[in-house]
């Protein structure tokens, strides 16, 4: 029988379950590239429920306990006295969401001799030291595509919010003002601007598709070029690297995974080479940009705005500079954990567990590490040496 340790974010401050704003969510049955949504044998939750917080338990308790397995759910994840660290001693499986990551460092993996499977309920497994997982022969799996569209919607929202100066204007309204000039002095139309994505994977392409109707000039860079039909359909300009793209556009939206090639990519030098008054939106991973360089550029006006939902560490300290930097539109890490996304990644987590516990192969597209090497989606999106990324704290 297996012991599964599941690290989830805390329940809402007003209690669980919350009072939901809507009575249901639309059923999504497939992804744009033809991949099917998760196919577990069954689920024990109603789509639209809050599943990602501790009491939601990703809807896994009945399924696991009926089969004799042990499920421990906690949000206590930091430091040697945390419940996570105590439970690691005999854990077979650790499940974690990037929004409240259970950092599985090399040291922690060493403290978990039985650990065979780390599941990311969502996308992005940089909170796991992938090199250490490879060395140990562990499997690392994530629910590929489960929240890609959720993130794309958030990125487009934040691009518009920054460029149109939405948040300060809303604040004037809340504060009882009618300060048109203050609101519009730094508000622009997106129409006609050059907008580029760093990486045209599942999220990056979804962002490009959603922006195309705004009559912007679209740019992208990626390790591999998109098919020519897609470039023509969306009118895309391809750049061989992030530097070339960043210099050419007004708005950059970042959508690559965090690994050694992308860590610290937007540093002081690259941000300094962008047009004055550029905008950066980063819903990928915080360490892809230099935190202090972004803060300084917001203060100097080199950046007209920075938004996104990814921070390091998570949760960030109360005095994290991005909480108060001028022209920032940051949210906590929420874009990929709407109830719509939760329904898909909870079902995908269950699908992975069903396969793992029945000793069946896990879907190839869900694999990041398997059999002692990067595998599946991990083999294309990540690079060796991933364990050196600072996303994995001791
Ligand atoms: P995909 O795997 O579909 O896309 C990633 C893309 O990045 C691939 O096209 C890959 O290229 C490309 N890439 C990798 N390295 C580089 C590089 N050095 N330069 C340029 N391109 C590169 O993943 P998703 O689009 O679904 O997700 C992307 C990332 O977004 C995740 O890794 C995660 O960090 C983040 N994310 C954030 C969420 C949130 O809630 N904020 C939720 C979900 C994801 P190729 O495969 O062609 O080699």
d(CA 130, CA 117) in angstroms, rounded, equals: 12
Atom of ligand 1 nearest to the CA of 259: 15
Residue 203 · residue 153 · CB < 8 Å: no
Residue with the smallest CA separation from ligand 1 atom 5 is 201
Residue 60: how many other CB atoms lie within 10 Å: 24
Q: How far is the CA of 209 from the centre of ligand 1 (A)?
A: 16
Residue 239 · residue 197 · CB < 8 Å: no
Asked if the domains at 3-146+337-374 and 148-323 fall in one CATH topology, the answer is yes
Query: Is the minimum distance from the CB of 152 to ligand 1 under 6 angstroms?
Result: no
The per-residue pLDDT for 388 is 45
d(CA 299, CA 333) in angstroms, rounded, equals: 23
Query: Is the minimum distance from the CB of 148 to ligand 1 under 6 angstroms?
Result: yes
d(CA 91, CA 3) in angstroms, rounded, equals: 5
For the chain, the domains span 3-146+337-374, 148-323
Burial class (CB in 10 A: 0-12, 13-18, 19+), 244: middle
The per-residue pLDDT for 215 is 98
The per-residue pLDDT for 207 is 98
Residue 48 · residue 28 · CB < 8 Å: no
Q: Which CATH number fits domain 148-323: 3.40.50.720, 3.30.465.10, 3.40.1670.10, 3.40.50.1860?
A: 3.40.50.720
Token pair listed for 150: 């959720």
Question: What's the alpha-carbon Rg for the chain, to the nearest Å?
Answer: 21
Question: Above 80 in pLDDT, residue 293?
Answer: yes
**Topology annotation, domain 3-146+337-374:** Rossmann fold (3.40.50)
Query: Is the minimum distance from the CB of 5 to ligand 1 under 6 angstroms?
Result: no
Query: Is the minimum distance from the CB of 125 to ligand 1 under 6 angstroms?
Result: no
Tell me the pLDDT tens digit for each residue of 41-78.
Answer: 999 999 999 999 999 999 999 999 999 999 999 999 99
The per-residue pLDDT for 387 is 55
Q: How far is the CA of 349 from the centre of ligand 1 (A)?
A: 20
Query: Is the minimum distance from the CB of 154 to ligand 1 under 6 angstroms?
Result: no
Question: DSSP of 27-91, one letter per residue?
Answer: ---B-TTSPBPP--S--SS-TTS--SBGGGGGG-HHHHHHTT-EEEEES--SSTTSHHHHHGGG-
Question: Above 90 in pLDDT, residue 391?
Answer: no
Sheet containing strand 117-120, edge to edge, reads: 70-74, 3-7, 93-96, 117-120, 139-142, 367-370, 373-374
Residue with the smallest CA separation from ligand 1 atom 1 is 201
Share of the chain above pLDDT 70, in %: 97
Residue with the smallest CA separation from ligand 1 atom 27 is 203
Query: Is the minimum distance from the CB of 197 to ligand 1 under 6 angstroms?
Result: no
Q: How far is the CA of 284 from the centre of ligand 1 (A)?
A: 7
Tell me the pLDDT tens digit for each residue of 270-283.
Answer: 999 999 999 999 99
Q: Band the pLDDT of 175: cuts 50, 70, 90.
A: very high
Query: Is the minimum distance from the CB of 338 to ligand 1 under 6 angstroms?
Result: no
Q: Which residues are catalytic?
A: 147, 285, 314, 333
Tell me the pLDDT tens digit for each residue of 318-363.
Answer: 999 999 999 999 999 999 999 999 999 999 999 999 999 999 999 9
Atom of ligand 1 nearest to the CA of 285: 34
The per-residue pLDDT for 386 is 63
Token pair listed for 268: 């002081």
């Amino acid at each position: 029988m297996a012991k599964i340790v599941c690290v989830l974010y805390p329940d809402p401050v007003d209690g669980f379950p919350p009072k939901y704003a809507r009575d249901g969510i639309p059923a999504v049955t497939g992804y744009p590239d033809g991949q099917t949504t998760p196919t577990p044998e069954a689920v024990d939750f109603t789509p639209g429920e809050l599943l990602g917080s501790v009491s939601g338990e990703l809807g896994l308790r009945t399924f696991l306990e009926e089969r004799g397995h042990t499920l421990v759910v906690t949000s206590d994840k930091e430091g040697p006295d945390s419940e996570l660290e105590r439970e690691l001693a005999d854990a077979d499986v650790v499940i974690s969401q990037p929004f409240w990551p259970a950092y599985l460092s090399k040291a922690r993996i060493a403290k978990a001799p039985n650990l065979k499977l780390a599941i990311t309920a969502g996308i992005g497994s940089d909170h796991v030291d992938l090199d250490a997982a490879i060395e140990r022969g562990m499997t690392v799996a994530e629910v590929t595509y489960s929240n890609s569209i959720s993130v794309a919607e958030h990125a487009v929202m934040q691009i518009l919010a920054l460029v149109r100066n939405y948040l300060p204007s809303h604040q004037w309204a809340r504060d009882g003002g009618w300060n048109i000039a203050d609101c519009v002095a730094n508000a622009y139309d997106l129409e006609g601007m050059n907008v580029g994505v760093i990486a045209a994977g599942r999220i990056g392409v979804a962002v490009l598709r959603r922006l195309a109707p705004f009559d912007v000039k679209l740019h992208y860079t990626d390790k591999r070029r998109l098919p020519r039909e897609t470039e023509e359909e969306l009118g895309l300009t391809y750049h061989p690297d992030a530097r070339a793209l960043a210099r050419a556009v007004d708005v950059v939206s970042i959508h690559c995974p965090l690994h050694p090639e992308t860590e610290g990519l937007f540093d002081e030098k690259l941000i300094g080479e962008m047009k004055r008054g550029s905008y950066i939106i980063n819903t990928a991973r915080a360490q892809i940009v230099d935190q202090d360089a972004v803060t300084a550029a917001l203060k100097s006006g080199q950046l007209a705005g920075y938004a996104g939902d990814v921070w390091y560490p998570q949760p960030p300290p109360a005095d994290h500079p991005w909480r108060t930097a001028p022209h920032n539109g940051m949210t906590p890490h929420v874009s990929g954990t709407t109830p719509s996304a939760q329904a898909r990644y909870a079902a995908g987590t269950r699908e992975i567990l069903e396969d793992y516990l029945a000793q069946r192969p896990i879907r190839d597209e869900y694999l990041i590490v398997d059999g002692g090497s990067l595998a599946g989606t991990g083999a294309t999106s990540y690079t060796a040496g991933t364990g050196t990324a600072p996303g994995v704290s001791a």
